[in-house]
Amino acid sequence: MPTWNLRAEDLEAILRLSPDGELTWEVSRGGCPVIRRSRLGLVTAHEDLTRGLVFEGIASEAIEESYGTVTGKRREHRYTATEWRLGFARNGHRLVLRVRIGGGGVAYRYEVPWSGPVTVCEERSEYVLDPGARAVLLPYENGRCDYEEIHRHTTVGAAEPVHYGYPSLFQVGESWLLVTEADLDSGYAGSRLAFDGTAFRLDLPDPYVTAASPLRTPWRTAVIGDLASIVESDLVTSLAAPSRVADTSWIRPGAAAWSWWSDGPSTRDLEAQRRWVDFAAEQGWPYVLADAGWNKEWMPSLISYAAQKGVGVFLWSHWQHVDTELEHREKLALWKEWGAAGVKIDFTESDGQDRMRWFDAILAATARLELMVVFHGGTIPRGTERTWPHFMTAEAVKGAEWIKPKPGKEPLYPATHYLSLAFTRNVQGPMDFTPCTFTAVRTISAGFELALAVLFESGIQHFADSIESYRSRPEAAALLAQVPTAWEETRLLSGDPADHILLARREGGHWYVGAGVAGPARTLTVPLDFLAEGEWAADIYRDAPGDRVLAETVTVIAGDKLAIPVAADGGFTLRLTR
Q: Which helix (H) or strand (E) holds 299?
A: helix 299-308
Q: Which helix (H) or strand (E) holds 333?
A: helix 333-338
Q: Which helix (H) or strand (E) holds 367?
A: helix 353-369
Helix, strand or coil, per DSSP, at residue 170: strand
346 is catalytic: yes
Cα 62 off chain centre by: 27
Beta strand extents in 9-146 (DSSP E only): 11-17, 23-29, 32-40, 42-44, 48-49, 54-68, 76-90, 93-102, 105-112, 118-123, 126-128, 134-139
Q: Are 280 and 312 in contact (CB under 8 A)?
A: no
Q: Are 346 and 318 in contact (CB under 8 A)?
A: yes
Residues 6+ apart with CB under 8 A from 324: none
What is the sign of the dihedral through the CA atoms of 100, 101, 102 and 108? positive
CA dist., res. 427 & res. 298, Å (int): 39
Q: Which entry of 83, 123, 291, 346 is annotated as an active-site residue?
A: 346
Helix, strand or coil, per DSSP, at residue 454: helix
Q: Are 114 and 35 in contact (CB under 8 A)?
A: no
Residue 72: how many other CB atoms lie within 10 Å: 24
Q: Are 278 and 309 in contact (CB under 8 A)?
A: yes
Q: Are 83 and 472 in contact (CB under 8 A)?
A: no
Q: Which entry of 401, 432, 539, 569 is annotated as an active-site residue?
A: 401
What backbone phi and psi angles, to 5 degrees, belong to 521?
A: -60, 150
Nearest to 489 by CA among 508, 502, 470: 508
401 is catalytic: yes
CA dist., res. 475 & res. 473, Å (int): 6
CA dist., res. 377 & res. 247, Å (int): 29
Q: Are 100 and 13 in contact (CB under 8 A)?
A: no
CA dist., res. 505 & res. 387, Å (int): 24
**Residues with a known catalytic role:** 346, 401
